[in-house]
Amino acid sequence: MKIGILALQGDYEKHTQILDQLGLDPILVRYPIELLDIEGLIIPGGESTTLTHLMKRMNFYETMIDFAKEKPILGTCAGLIMMAKVANHNLVKPLELLDIEVDRNGYGRQIHSFIEYLPIQLNNHIENIPATFIRAPKISKIGKGVEILAEYNGEICAVKQGKHVGLAFHPELDGVSIFHKFAFISNSISSNKEKPHAA
Amino acid sequence: MSKEQFEVKIGLAEMLKGGVIMDVMNPEQARIAEDAGAVAVMALERIPALIRKEGGISRMSDPKMIKDIQNEVSIPVMAKVRIGHFAEAQILEALEVDFIDESEVLTPADEHNHIWKHDFKVPFVCGCRDLGEALRRIGEGAAMIRTKGEAGSGNIVEAVRHMRKVISQIKELTVMNQDLLMARAKELGAPFTLVQQVAKLGKLPVPNFAAGGIATPADASLMMQLGAGTVFVGSGIFMSEDPSARAKAIVEAVAYYDDPKKLSEISFGLKKAMEGLDIAKIPDEERLQERGW
């Protein structure tokens, strides 16, 4: 299965390694037309102001919003910001795919970046996974349709809405593949049949 | 310094890949840089071309100037310290700059020792001309390496020389037998464990960027194609005729570095680039790349 990685700026190479681990076929996406050929998309970490600039310049918005109606998108850090409804910065134009509000660099500057182990409940089991937060955004508000996948210190840091998954941290830096698997493999299976949720 | 803390430092360098880091001298320039899509700014009082012109001792910037720039933009803010000047680095850490450049552009403070960078929580970037120099800096704790090039020259030739050298020396290591690595480490003047690691990985263990003389979109593309993770642009933007347009063009050139058609559009009708210098005409004692070891 071909999964695209938006390769305009950021740590897109790291995501190719995770997709390789899962036996998925990574495709670097630099032009809107390339979205037509893939089954899912990753928006990687990087700077959301830079991503906005390049996505506007290359007319990505309309095609990407259409793409998201049918197919899953996984965003990490800046990718999460790009998927939010509100990003609270005039240079960031998000895609409004997740009904959340984000606070860019909510944890502070680089000196406050960190790695923590988070208990994550995915597909009915709990796993402790390393999560690297780099000048990470905070999710300050969520809408009704948004499911919380993980919290750190009372802060929501991983969410799901419909097919889409957004993370404030970087599983790709720690070789963690469960979110990619969740977004592109198990998610697409469970979308065919209604799965009861514990919550 | 734990392995995890070092990974957090490298993490930010990973996020900067494919984005342009621009030298700025005041909040107005920082605003232009962020608006143009810069991934980070380097705050310094005099860009290298002016340091070259005006001479005198170049030091860490005034904390007020750095703070003003931090207040102006939301992207990472970097700043430079003199080689070996760990007290300047402590001050920048207290200011919470996002990256410290221990830079040959400023006047060195210690002729023998670079800063022991593992002592800091803030990540460091350092310049190099070859693999030995890169690995010595990584051994001291640098989380990112850049070519030295020849800062403030507007001439790409030295950055190309340094990048080609590092890449070819890495390639040599990957085809060497284990029993030759110790002698090679001795020749390179590099820590043995890092030499082993590079031989195995086929690349540096931290991101490897280009700096020193980048003035045009084509320069940026060249460095990317030679293997740089991204580029620093020092004097090239704010010494040019139309900084905002040039800044945007270089941002786009880094994203589309391997698409010549796109690059031709990006480069079309840009106003004048900065004046360049012939390296042969810069006296040895004025070559910034000779600083550090």
B14 to chain A nearest CA, in Å? 5
Q: Does A12 touch chain B (CB under 8 A)?
A: yes
Residue B108 has pLDDT above 80, yes or no: yes
| DSSP secondary structure of chain A | -EEEEE-SSSSHHHHHHHHHHTT-EEEEE-SGGGGGG-SEEEE-SS-HHHHHHHHHHTT-HHHHHHHHHHS-EEEETHHHHHHSSB---TT------SSEEEETTTT-SGGG-EEEEEEEEETTEEEEEEEEESSPPEEEEE-TTPEEEEEETTEEEEEEETTEEEESS-GGGTT--HHHHIIIIIHHHHTTSPPPP--
Interface test with A, best of B10, B15, B224 (most A CBs within 10 A): B15
User: Of A151, A140, A158, nearest to A88 (Cα)?
Assistant: A140
Strand-pairing partners, residue A131, are A116
Q: Does A108 touch chain B (CB under 8 A)?
A: yes
Does the beta-carbon distance from A10 to B19 stay under 8 Å? yes
| Global ipTM | 0.95
Domain range spanning residue A161?
2-184
In a domain, A190, yes or no: no
Interface test with A, best of B2, B7, B9, B14 (most A CBs within 10 A): B14
* pLDDT at res. B1: 62
A49 → closest Cβ in B16, B37, B121: B37
In a domain, A195, yes or no: no
Instruction: Check if A170 is active-site.
Output: yes
| Distance, CA of A170 to CA of B15 (rounded, Å) | 10
Find chain B residues with C-beta within 8 A of A173's C-beta: 7, 11, 14
In a domain, A199, yes or no: no
In a domain, A191, yes or no: no
In a domain, A34, yes or no: yes
| Distance, CA of B68 to CA of B70 (rounded, Å) | 5
The model's pLDDT over B33-64, given as tens digits with 9 standing for 90+, comes to 999 999 999 999 888 888 888 888 999 999 99
Contacts of A73 (CB under 8 A, 6+ apart): A40, A41, A42, A43, A67, A83, A97, A163, A164, A165, A183
B104 to chain A nearest CA, in Å? 23
* pLDDT at res. A188: 52
A111 → closest Cβ in B11, B93, B254: B93
Token match 């009861």: residue?
Answer: A196
Q: Does A171 touch chain B (CB under 8 A)?
A: no
Find chain A residues with C-beta within 8 A of B14's C-beta: 11, 14, 45, 173
Please tell me which residue in A15, A157, A164, A172 is annotated as part of the active site.
A172
Q: Which helix (H) or strand (E) holds B23?
A: strand B21-24
Please tell me which residue in A15, A77, A157, A164 is annotated as part of the active site.
A77
pTM: 0.95
What residues of B act catalytically?
A: 80
CATH no. for residue A18?
A: 3.40.50.880
Say which residue, B43 or B4, is predicted with more confidence: B43
Q: How confident is the model at residue B91 (pLDDT cuts 50, 70, 90)?
A: very high
Total of domains in chain A: 1
Residue B150 has pLDDT above 50, yes or no: yes
**pLDDT, mean of residues B254-272:** 95
| Distance, CA of B32 to CA of B28 (rounded, Å) | 6
In a domain, A198, yes or no: no
Q: Which positions of chain A have pLDDT values less than 70?
A: 122-123, 187-199
| Distance, CA of B122 to CA of B99 (rounded, Å) | 6
Q: In terms of C-beta density within 10 A (0-12 exposed, 13-18 middle, 19 or more buried), how is residue A162 classed?
A: middle
Find chain B residues with C-beta within 8 A of A115's C-beta: 4, 7-8
Q: How confident is the model at residue B4 (pLDDT cuts 50, 70, 90)?
A: confident
Contacts of A178 (CB under 8 A, 6+ apart): A120, A122, A127, A129, A171
* pLDDT at res. A194: 41
Say which residue, B99 or A195, is predicted with more confidence: B99
Q: Which two tokens stand for residue A119?
A: 């208990």
* pLDDT at res. A121: 80
Which chain A residue has the Cα nearest residue B33? A50
Q: Does A135 touch chain B (CB under 8 A)?
A: yes
* pLDDT at res. B3: 83
Q: What is the DSSP letter of B241?
A: S
Q: Which helix (H) or strand (E) holds B24?
A: strand B21-24
In a domain, A196, yes or no: no
* pLDDT at res. B274: 87
In a domain, A19, yes or no: yes
pLDDT, mean over chain B? 95
Which chain A residue has the Cα nearest residue B32? A91
Q: Does B224 touch chain A (CB under 8 A)?
A: no
Q: Are A101 and A88 in contact (CB under 8 A)?
A: yes
* pLDDT at res. A192: 37
**pLDDT, mean of residues B248-253:** 98
| H runs (alpha helix) in chain B | 3-16, 27-35, 48-54, 63-72, 86-94, 131-139, 157-174, 181-188, 192-201, 217-225, 235-238, 243-255, 260-267
* pLDDT at res. A103: 97
Q: Does B12 touch chain A (CB under 8 A)?
A: yes
Find chain B residues with C-beta within 8 A of A17's C-beta: none
